[in-house]
Amino acid sequence: MQDTISYEPLLCPTAATVITGHYGSGKTNFAMNLSLAYSRMGKNVTLCDIDIVNPYFRSADFAPLCEEHGIHLITPPFANTNLDTPILTRQVDGAITGGECVILDVGGDDAGAVALGRYQEKITAREDYQMILVVNQCRPLTATAEDAVAMIADINRASKLSITHIVNNSNLGPDTSIEQITKSLDYGEKIIELSGIPLLYQAIPRKLLDPICAGDAPDHRLLQLYEERKIFPVDIFVKTPWSA
């Protein structure tokens, strides 16, 4: 067993990683965590915020963090301002075409995935790309595996791309517990069974990682995922003004 500090999940960075998911599944926070993980590997990471749906709590909030870690952040010029017009700049095209390791943080549901359509040819032109579906059992509209899987076809159609991996990011925000994550394992497995799409990671808040590293988990599947390095520790970067 490795200790918590040295543990890293199995990272397989591709030229382009597209992060989609249901509305409020935790895509933006996961995209930031993945960007940092790839950056720690020495990759030259570009994080693109192409969320045309959400007006608040977006990657643009992470500008200082990205700068600190040498991550190139591309955000729409309207992000977190008072201009209610979704604009995607040419910088995004350039990053997708030529970036070493590009992560696209896409808006929620098929409505957000529509923004991918214009980049479809450029993304598929890269030698390899991953398209991740982030799922969260604690979100009422996707609380069943059937509901979560129904969204896959919608997102694929809207984006003209195909989801290749699942990240089970089931969480209750600040109240996420190992019990609640354990309960979501069946949900994740059912999604994989119904969709035929493999699991990339089981996300877990970093603060809950220690017991698992020490071999202590309420479900053996968590230990197995840990051995396979499919546990992805997430730090929470989305902050409210009163917690700032």
Partner 1 sequence: MTEKQAERVLMKGNEAMAEAAIQAGCRHFFGYPITPSTEIAAYMSKRMPKVGGTYLQAESEVAAINMVLGAAAAGVRVMTGSSSPGISLKSEGVSYLAGCDLPCVIINVQRGGPGLGGIQPSQADYWQATKAWGHGDFQILVYAPSTVQEMVNLMMEAFDKADEYRIPALMLVDGLLGQMMEPIAFPEKDLSTIPAKPWATNGHKHKREHNIVNSLCLKPDELEQQVIARFARYDIIKAKEAQAEEYLVDDADIVLVAFGATARTTRSAIDMAREKDIKAGMIRPITLWPFPEKVIQKAANTAQCFLSVEMSMGQMIDDIKLAINCTKPVHFYGRTGGMVPMPVDILGKIEELARGLK
Which residues would be at the binding site for partner 1 (CB under 8 A)? 23-24, 54-57, 80-84, 136, 138-141, 143, 171-175, 240-244
In the bound complex, what is the minimum distance in angstroms from residue 27's beta carbon to partner 1?
12
* Smallest distance from partner 1 to CB 219, Å: 18
Q: Specify the residue, 59 or 136, whose C-beta has the smaller distance to partner 1.
A: 136
Q: Which is nearer to partner 1, 112 or 233 (CB)?
A: 112
Count of CA atoms in the C-beta half-sphere (13 A) of 37 = 21
Going by their DSSP bridges, the two strands 101-106 and 199-205 should be labelled as unpaired
Select 37 or 113, whichever has its Cβ closest to partner 1. Answer: 113
Q: What are phi and psi of 131, to 5 degrees?
A: -125, 115
**How far is the C-alpha of 4 from the C-alpha of 123, rounded, in Å?**
35
Spatial separation of the C-alpha atoms in residues 138 and 184, rounded to whole Å: 9
Quote the tokens at residue 127: 């030698």
Which of 244, 243, 239, 236 is CA-nearest to residue 32?
Answer: 236
∠ Cα 185 18 22 (to 5°): 50
Taking CA atoms, 93 is separated from 56, 82, 118, 137, in Å, by 24, 25, 9, 33
Radius of gyration (C-alpha) of the chain in whole angstroms: 17
Our CB check for partner 1 shows the closer of 185 and 223 to be 185
Nearer to partner 1, 57 or 237 (CB): 57
Q: Nearest approach, Cβ of 129 to partner 1 (angstroms)?
A: 29
Residue 205 CB, nearest distance to partner 1 (Å)? Answer: 13
- For partner 1, the closer CB: 109 or 159: 109
Q: Measured from the CB of residue 22, what is the shortest distance to partner 1 in angstroms?
A: 11
Angle, helices 220-227 vs 178-195, to 10°: value is 70
CB of 156 to partner 1, least distance (A): 19
